[in-house]
Structures are given as C-alpha cells and as structure tokens.
C-alpha cells in the first residue's frame, strides 16, 4: 500500500473548500457564506442572482452545496471535503427540469458565468441501498469502531442530500474511529469490507482518524485489485 495524495499535493482550491466546510460549525451562515464567496466571485454572483430571482423558479433552488451542508463534527468536515469534488460542492441543486433550463440559460448563456447544476426531481430522497447489511453494520460498529456512513455525519436539505448521494456515493462511504484504523492495520478489516456474502469482491471506501492523523482507504478492482491509502 502507498499514499496516493498528501496535504502537500493539494491544490489551492482544495485548501479553500477545506476551510469552507470546516468553518461550518463555528460561524453564522451569513459569515460562513461571506468567507466562501471571498474565494470565488462568480459563485457569489450566481448565489445573489438566485436569491434575487427566486420568484422566477417553479420550485426551491438550493446551493451552492457547500453552503447547505452542516457537518456534525470536525472529522466529518474533513472527510466530506476530501471525498466530494470541488465542482460538486460548488453546485446548485434544482428540483425540476424547467428550473434547470432557466438557471442555465440565465447564468451560463446570458451572463457567461460558469455554473454546475444538479437536478433532483421534486427534491425527493430516493430509497437508499446500503453497502452492508444491518447485521454486518452492527458487527462493524461493535468489533471495529465504525461509526456509520458518511451521509449520516452531516445534515442537508433532502434535495442536497440526494445530489450528494447521486454524484458522490456518500451513502456508501464508511466513517470510522481510531479503532477502525487499528483493525485496518492489524486485523485485516479491509478483507472483510471487500467481500460480499457470496465471496465475490466489492469496492469500498472508509475514513478514520489514526495516530494523530486522518486516513482514507479505498479498494477498487478493474483488471486487477488496487488498494490505496491516503493520508489526509
């Protein structure tokens, strides 16, 4: 196993988004938004246009996503920032195709400003198919210190939550504790996470704090198995 990314390799944009989610816990929304928009003037202009023209839309418009998410602790903030792409965090979420077309036309076509838009029909959550069974999750929590899934570690409007599940699979990513790290290193937890009941392999991703740092272990397989450990 080897580290595939470290703090020193993160680009400036990643540092900016890290800060924006991290401050989610401490600042009034208006102050939080001000700090976010200080690094992206276009995002602020889009946000202000949406706020000033909500009457034009058929349904609520959410976003940018980074302004809608409230993480439950600092570890969750770090893990969410590392897992979700910046383009997704800066996205706006609409609840019908008509609003998608309107927002794109007004912002991208008329004002020539970049924008990412996610469509979640009617703003409704879809049924969630969890990666592990309830009995397996109970075992992971009791024996290996797993807390749960990443989407259980933050609050967001339904439409925003669904957008993050659809684009980033936050409902399939595990969040653990230092005990999880011990199990990864010493108890072959990765082997357990990668095997289905029928013995076939499945991809997984798990975040955990370990010995004063935070780590992510992911497992994917195409033509060959690849396991990557990232020091956050």
pLDDT tens track, the chain, 232 positions: 334 333 332 333 333 344 444 444 445 667 777 778 888 889 999 999 999 999 999 999 999 999 999 998 889 989 999 999 999 999 999 999 999 999 999 999 999 999 999 999 999 999 999 999 999 999 999 999 999 999 999 999 999 999 999 999 999 999 999 999 999 999 999 999 999 888 889 999 999 998 888 899 988 755 444 555 555 5
CA distance to 42, 99, 115, 129, 141, per residue, from 134 (Å): 44, 38, 39, 11, 11
The number of folded domains in the chain is 1
For residue 155, what are the domain limits?
Answer: 7-231
Give the three-class secondary structure for 3: strand
159 belongs to a structural domain: yes
β 70-71/204-210 pair status: unpaired
Q: Which long-range contacts (CB under 8 A, 24 or more apart) does 212-216 make?
A: 214/75, 214/78, 214/79, 215/181, 215/184, 216/79, 216/82, 216/83
164 belongs to a structural domain: yes
2 belongs to a structural domain: no
In tens, the pLDDT along 143-185 reads 999 999 999 999 999 999 999 999 999 999 999 999 999 999 9
Q: Any idea what DSSP says for residue 124?
A: P
13 belongs to a structural domain: yes
Ramachandran assignment for 178, one of left (phi > 0), alpha (psi -120 to 50 degrees), beta (any other): alpha
1 belongs to a structural domain: no
Q: Which helix (H) or strand (E) holds 2?
A: none
- Angle of helix 41-52 versus helix 29-37 axis, rounded to 10: 130
Which residues 6+ apart lie within 8 Å of 140 measured at CB?
132, 146, 174
Tell me the backbone φ, ψ of residue 119, rounded to 5 degrees: -105, 120
């Amino acid at each position: 196993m080897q580290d595939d990314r470290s703090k020193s390799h993160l680009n400036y944009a990643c540092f900016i988004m890290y800060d924006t989610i991290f401050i989610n816990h401490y600042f009034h929304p208006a102050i939080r938004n001000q700090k976010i928009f200080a690094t992206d003037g276009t995002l602020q202009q889009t946000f202000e246009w949406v706020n000033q023209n909500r009457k034009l839309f058929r349904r609520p418009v959410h976003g940018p996503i980074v302004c809608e998410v409230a993480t439950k602790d600092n570890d969750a903030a770090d893990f969410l920032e590392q897992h979700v792409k910046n383009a997704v965090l800066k996205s706006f979420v609409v609840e019908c195709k008509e609003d998608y077309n309107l927002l794109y036309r007004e912002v991208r076509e008329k004002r020539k400003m970049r924008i990412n838009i996610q469509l979640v029909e009617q703003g409704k959550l879809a049924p969630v198919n969890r990666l592990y069974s309830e009995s397996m999750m109970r075992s992971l929590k009791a024996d290996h210190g797993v807390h749960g899934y990443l989407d259980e570690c933050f609050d967001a409007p339904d439409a925003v939550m669904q957008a993050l599940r659809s684009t980033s699979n936050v409902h399939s990513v595990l969040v653990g504790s230092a005990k999880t790290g011990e199990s990864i290193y010493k108890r072959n937890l990765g082997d357990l996470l990668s095997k289905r009941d029928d013995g076939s392999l499945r991809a997984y991703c798990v975040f955990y704090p370990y010995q004063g740092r935070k780590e992510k272990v992911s497992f994917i397989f195409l033509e060959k198995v690849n396991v990557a450990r990232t020091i956050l």
